[in-house]
Amino acid sequence: MKIIQFNAENVKKLRAVEIKPDGNIIEITGSNEQGKSTVLDSIWYALGGKEAMKGMTKPIHTGEKKASVKLDLGDLVVTRSWTAKDTYLHVTTKDGATYPSPQAMLDTLVGRLSFDPLSFANMDDGSAEGKRKQRESLLKLVDLGIDLTAWAKDRQDTVDTRALLGRNIKDAESQLKMMATVPDNIPEEEISISQLTEEFKTAQDIKTANDAKRKLLSDKRGEAEQLQTEILTREKTINSMKANLKELEDAQLNAKNTLSVRIEHGKTLKAEVDTLQDPDMDAITSKMSGVEENNRMVRIKAKRKETEDVLAREKKSYDEKTAEIDALDKKKLNALKSAKFPIPNLSFDEEGVLYKDLPFAQASSTERLTVSFAIAMAMNPKLRVIRITEGSSIDSKHMKIISDMAADKDFQVWIEKTNETGELGIFIEDGMVKKNNYEKKGKTNE
């Protein structure tokens, strides 16, 4: 489907223009500010809708009340008109039937590069912004099977999370380096000073009770020794005082009985004393003197354990995020591998568009032109119309490339060129067709 006839009235700089194109190349020429650009713009206005008219505030020629563009595409007739208040679009078949949703129908015909291949080629001006715009334009043409914007956000979120984990890991490692080394024999819990004090008091009570029993034994031994001395003394007295024998013998018998009882009691007490075991007071005292240092090491040990646990968790999370990033990169790589680009050897990376694995800007001018035209043609399979709004910069060599590609694929290429001679193409002056050199020469413009 191509343009059979173009009509425009009062659109911007145009007054009344009718063009019946013939051949593959239609050059619209003239000096500046005469309306030649508006011819190409009008084609895009008619077909592109809001996207095409973005930023256009005054479509109607100064002094007029309405404007219109009409494209006869053979099977379809597209008419876009403007009044001071609104814009209207009508699409009819050659039989006169109308479409209820005309713009939606046109969107299925019009390529997503505004069918201007040079605009794509010239996007990459060497700046990062130019590379980004060209890359975004290409992405609109390719169905990758994934939303790259969402993919980029997911990847950046994961990278940011992993970076935070990395900082946490470094913090934990720094904390561990600053902590004192803890001996292996340090317990897990701190020693209770109050419990240890109670333990000392209990041991002290036991020691006091044991000492009391030892003193009692010593006292009993003294008493026994005293009794033995008394017995000896009395025995001497008995020998010297026979007169008092009966009294002395009774006293002696009583003393012996008492001594016997005391001896048995002493034996029992000695047996008990022999089994007594004093608490290790020195050990408890030593333990009390070192408890604060012990507890300090216990606290360090607990802090180290806590930090080591945090470090292990952060490292695990970091590894998980690394795996997620790898999976996202693999997902994108698989999408790129399976993507169908308009032409072979075309791809992109994070920075911009690639051709034959090199930045698009590094391709030769012929390659850039060829690739851009191939993209435009691939994206306009139904409406075989391409426009070039900056055709003055195209030399004869590249003009031949365009002509050959258009003829080979049977495309209609509308090209705007600044030429004041009036001897080239369709010459526009003061918003009207001043001269049609194709008709004059009696041949087509192929």
- Looking at 260, 279, 313, which one is the last position of a domain? 313
Q: Which stretch of DSSP H or E encloses residue 79?
A: strand 76-82
Q: Identify the pLDDT of residue 17.
A: 94
Q: Identify the pLDDT of residue 440.
A: 57
Classify residue 416: in a domain, yes or no: yes
Write out pLDDT tens, residues 189-230: 888 888 888 888 998 999 999 999 999 989 989 888 898 888
The count of structural domains within the chain is 2
Q: For the chain, which ranges sit under pLDDT 70? A: 111-115, 141, 143, 243-245, 440-446
DSSP-assigned states of every residue in 138-157: HHHH---SS-HHHHHHHHHH
Classify residue 309: in a domain, yes or no: yes
Q: What is the pTM of this model?
A: 0.58
Question: Regarding beta strands 426-429 and 25-30, do their DSSP bridges make them parallel or antiparallel, or are they unpaired?
Answer: parallel
- Looking at 268, 293, 313, which one is the last position of a domain? 313
Check whether residue 308 and residue 165 sit in a common domain: yes
For 126-145, letters b (16+ CB in 10 Å) and e give: eeeeebebbbebbeebbebe
Q: Identify the pLDDT of residue 296.
A: 85
- Looking at 262, 295, 313, which one is the last position of a domain? 313
CATH number at residue 223: 1.10.287
Check whether residue 264 and residue 396 sit in a common domain: no
Tokens coding 82: 């403007």
Range of the domain at 224: 147-313
Check whether residue 219 and residue 290 sit in a common domain: yes
Check whether residue 171 and residue 278 sit in a common domain: yes
Question: Which parts of 339-423 fold into alpha helices (H)?
Answer: 365-378, 396-409
Write out pLDDT tens, residues 91-133: 998 888 888 888 888 887 775 445 577 777 777 777 888 888 8
